[in-house]
Structure 1
């Protein structure tokens, strides 16, 4: 009998417990308006502490959790793409691009310079932090604006456009980063520039090919596919079919050398153009709630408890850069359009970092200590947790008079 067969009943038991606890965590934290991902991270950290002392999961169990986390990541990015209104983003590009450019440039620069200067980190680790810092958690900010009934205001629409552009650009930067950093790590100094140039050219070529494939699928195939499968009952089968195609597109991205997360995002964009397909999101919710918690739990599970002391110090330094990068980067351009009040609330709305930041840092951690160390990973978990918990409290008070 293999090790997996011996431990399978216990692993299934733990997975069942995790699912139940994740549901209880979701409903418990929602009552207090606390971001759910913080609870999932704490669940993962608790599981890590138990694992360090009891070794319940063993290697086989950890691999199963990792697989469920990968499925959760695909579901997460698929939904991000599905909820992105690409046509509206293009229409609002001129108005939002100035804020977006300042936001990405300043937050990315802060995310690179602060680790290099103050934490004495190398270029590769700093590039991962910089890329993660450019992202924004759309869901957290949008929920606060919706609560204040301000999302349909001019400032609310601008905030939503910039936040979505932040995440889209962060995903592109992430894909480019994953292709470049192995070359920087393994390349010799004599031909490093040439290797990076070739890698970037190859990346652009593959990106154009993949984007062209997605455009062709969306323009010429998606409507016929959804029309065909929509004939079948029950509606849940249609949802599973769309999810199946999402997994296929994510796999194609992985085979081309991108991450499956990037592919899942593009798969969501492919189906977002069809208003009927977007309606699957309601029935997709059950799959989302089942698998996505495993992604965040796996992040908490990856935290090295012995690094938490240094993580607080490093995290505080990075937190300052995370906050100032968004307040300055998004706030100053917004000031030219809306004045001080608008610039403060939109800049503050860009501060929360969650899903995309965690994707970037988790992938870096999987590459090894040369990319993202456990100390850096724990520090960025600290940044994400603080920005997701504190920012909504401040933003809610500023949005009380509807903007």
Structure 2
């Protein structure tokens, strides 16, 4: 019998979110006991909620919105922590080797995705979209096992982080270029290479501008801001820092295109001395 979600939406929402949180804690301990990444347990919980909730009509719009919000907040927190624990110099040192791995990964994944989509009967255009989508490596999926194993700061961990970042950036650029070409490809007209070049140049310019803004912030605004926040902190109570709306709005104009692809790079660039902004830091 379907559950009337509209009768008690708040109770249903609290029950599902609370239950999922409890299951996630249990899954983490069970996966640790089985020596497998907790991410496996989280995925199984999501699949279980989908299989059970869909027939019972539990997964209505408010519930799905709540889970999407929690997922976004969790991913932001995860990537922020990864950025704080990363060593920018080591990442830059490993970039040449990671670039070769990235190139092979993108080409192999793209061709395999396209061939697989064609094999199951997709037309060339949808198969191309599938191939491009498979070139991206989600940092939120690939990096947590390294972090939980304490190996993210190792040589191999730095290479893995570089490759994941490059994969995500190239995936966004390639998908944007492909989406700009889809209307032309559907009509059978000649490809407007000027449009392709313009789209690519816009994305790369946004990325460079965003990196430059982060560098300027790190070298001019971050030191006094970090000292101010450290002086205001009163351990052991943690302090929640909210970015002023004006600063947030100004940076958002630059990051609309690139922030989805480079979240962990942002955290590395914005913080040169992580110990000053961590909750456990003591004032000087």
Q: Bigger relative contact order, structure 1 or 2, given CA contacts below 8 A and separation 6+?
A: 1
CA drift of 1:107 comes to 1.9
Superposed CA offset, 1:172-224 (max 9, x none): 22342353233133445434422221111111221121111111111111121
Distance 1:251 1:8, change over 3 A: farther
- Written as runs of structure 1 = structure 2, the 5 A alignment for 1:67-106 is 67-90=69-92, 92-93=93-94, 97-98=96-97, 100-106=98-104
Give the TM-score, by structure 2 length. 0.79
Matched with 1:54 is 56
Distance 1:142 1:231, change over 3 A: closer
Matched with 1:167 is 164
CA drift of 1:263 comes to 5.7
Q: Is the 8 A contact 2:133 2:175 kept in 1?
A: no
CA drift of 1:238 comes to 5.9
Do residues 127 (structure 1) and 132 (structure 2) align?
Answer: yes
Distance 1:104 1:65, change over 3 A: same
2:17 to 15, 18, 21: 15
Matched with 2:182 is 185
Matched with 1:217 is 217
Matched with 2:272 is 273
Q: Is the 8 A contact 2:184 2:191 kept in 1?
A: yes
Matched with 2:112 is 114
Larger fraction in helix:
1
Superposed CA offset, 1:238-285 (max 9, x none): 6521xx3499769945774326444632431134421414644x79xx
Structure 2: give runs of 5+ residues left out of the alignment.
none
SS at match of 1:12: helix
Q: Larger Cα Rg: Structure 1 or Structure 2?
A: 2
Matched with 2:41 is 39
Q: Is the 8 A contact 1:131 1:173 kept in 2?
A: yes
Q: Is the 8 A contact 1:249 1:264 kept in 2?
A: no
Structure 1: give runs of 5+ residues left out of the alignment.
284-403
Distance 1:263 1:140, change over 3 A: closer
CA drift of 1:142 comes to 6.1
Superposed CA offset, 1:131-151 (max 9, x none): 23999834424655x5xxxx6
Superposed CA offset, 1:285-308 (max 9, x none): xxxxxxxxxxxxxxxxxxxxxxxx
